[in-house]
Structure 1
């Protein structure tokens, strides 16, 4: 059903393919459970521009987390740095089902 969380997770791979059309340096990795049920477990992504400008940022990277609520619980991790003008510069993102050694 369009608009639902389940539908959004199903469309994730299609969305990634569309992003790669405009950003060929886009990095994305999605992991799912076994091929039988193919359920989402975690994903990582980084857009092209942060990869290219990382060397111009201040040499401190901060990892922050926020918790995803409702039916599909999980954790969103963001890696950020500070640019020369003291602005927050997002580097990469990671969604995981929970805090585990694997993730």
Structure 2
């Protein structure tokens, strides 16, 4: 990047300045991940309004709320359409899996899948948590027990 700036703009800059400029540009293009987490409440409200009967739960850190900050902890979503469709032609088999999220926003994405009447995978729901343990798995899968 430094060589391109020197060649194209005929300006001598340090590698440090190039890295700092690149970070500012990337933050501007992608938006701040803190801003994205601030939008989770709006996303939660929209899910509840546009998908009646869906099981949606979001949890923020209570300790941080006392200090005036909203820190996301976990969320799960089970759409009513998936629930109804699975009940219509389900097989009593549920698979669960997880994948680790990397980058600035670390966490774990949990998924619950069923098998439909055509022996195809059928998405039931997903959860987003900060760390994996028995409590988080049970909270994420609790809505299925109610079905």
Q: TM-score, normalised by structure 2?
A: 0.63
Q: Which has the higher contact order (CA 8 A, sep 6+)?
A: 1
**Higher gyration radius (CA):** 2
2:105 alignment partner in structure 1: 72
Point out 4+ residue stretches in structure 1 off by more than 4 angstroms: none
| CA positional deviation for 1:4 | 2.9
User: What is the number of equivalent residue pairs in this alignment?
Assistant: 103
Superposed CA offset, 1:64-84 (max 9, x none): 111111011110000001111
More strand per residue? 1
Q: Take 1:5 and 1:82, find their aligned partners in 2: how far apart are those partners? A: 35
RMSD of aligned Cα (Å)? 1.8
1:38 alignment partner in structure 2: 70
